[in-house]
Structure 1
């Protein structure tokens, strides 16, 4: 609860609150343009392909067209939500060093003797994305299972969300030795629960765009206190 209180206090301060609006508006504009243009291109392509096949008569029925539109809207909704989350994560990753630095200066004064190598972070990122792609392909084959497939998809995207968010924060908070020791084992339960809650919140349209800075702030405090065993020196 102390970490939650500190994180909320930081998040609603003027400097951090300004950062929250940056990924929100940038992601919103990019995704709106993407959805607007790709939706028309996608349907134009489908209609062109179908019109040349024997299935054209089947897709001429109103109920079929309605079903396709409905399914596309549902699929588009999930795509937009997930895309917005990861796009805002990408934007925030450029601000994470500054966020961590400000929190460290105010509460912990932790000195990093040897920073995490950028190449190591890049390799881990590639590894996580590659694993995600494999899991995504497997999940796609499981689409034949009703309802369960959606849960599986959420699990696959949560994996990538969890890994990339932690990597972004930990590579800025920890020194090289602490960073390597953390990744020798699976993530502690409190980190998994935290990122799971954040992922569920991010599934709510627009909310995930706005709260990315809060996620970074919370995980920064959590890392200092639960991995490095430091106490916050200034609660003001």
Structure 2
């Protein structure tokens, strides 16, 4: 793992990859800035004022009487205020990370090809189909929504909510990286095998570390390409070891 880290860092610090790593950062900043300017700020201010003052008059009391009644209690207001600030900050952070991840995904073919030429020279017998990759990502997105819905009640429990809110987002982050990196680094058959095995323990552990780093503002924006480089090296090095056995 240390050898892969050093090799990944060496590749990342080359002029080509440093310039490419700026792209996810810029796109995420521009899109989030545009969202805040064109509508996001008004929504944020409305919910923030409601959470602070307890005035949720923008809700239709005749349509949601139980919700309007619940919002009049002091404890409910306190819980909503706490949830609003925690969830709001977290969701903005996650949105920026997944925007950067999406942009980095378009760069993964370049990364995989470059790393293979530099270090491995492995031959891919067949490419995973585009529609197969899209289908798997769609399946993982549905699973993410289900896990998120299951975890929602836990958001009202202090301390536990800090862990519960991360479970679905880590799942989506890990699975999207697995499908993206493996589909570009491996051939069709080996991609399916890697997907079924979850990429292996090294891949999973690396995704856990990278996800935690993404919780630090701006780290997940600029270093997303480094994460892709590292994970690509994991799959390539494993593939080379397997090829040497035969």
TM over 0.5: yes
Q: Alignment partner of 2:124: what SS? A: coil
Q: Distance in 2 between matches of 1:184 and 1:163?
A: 11
Q: Alignment partner of 1:94: what SS? A: helix
Q: Tell me what 2:157 maps to.
A: 145
State the Cα deviation string for residues 115-159 of structure 1 (Å, max 9, x = none).
Answer: 111111111101100000000001112223221122022121111
Q: Alignment partner of 1:229: what SS? A: helix
TM-score normalised by structure 2 residue count:
0.82
Structure 2 residue 127 is the aligned partner of structure 1 residue 111: no
Deviation at 1:187, TM superposition (A): 3.6
State the Cα deviation string for residues 168-192 of structure 1 (Å, max 9, x = none).
Answer: 1100000111112223334411111
Query: For the Cα contact (< 8 Å) 1:7–1:218, is it kept in 2?
Result: yes
Query: For the Cα contact (< 8 Å) 2:108–2:184, is it kept in 1?
Result: yes
Query: For the Cα contact (< 8 Å) 1:108–1:230, is it kept in 2?
Result: no
How many residue pairs match? The answer is: 228
Alignment gaps of 5+ in structure 1: 232-236
TM-score normalised by structure 1 residue count:
0.86
Q: Distance in 2 between matches of 1:220 and 1:201?
A: 18
Higher relative contact order (Cα pairs below 8 Å, separated by 6+ residues): 1
Query: For the Cα contact (< 8 Å) 2:122–2:240, is it kept in 1?
Result: no
Deviation at 1:74, TM superposition (A): 2.6
Q: Distance in 2 between matches of 1:119 and 1:67?
A: 43
Alignment of 1:197-236 (within 5 A): 197-229=209-241
State the Cα deviation string for residues 2-36 of structure 1 (Å, max 9, x = none).
Answer: 11111000111100000111111110121133245
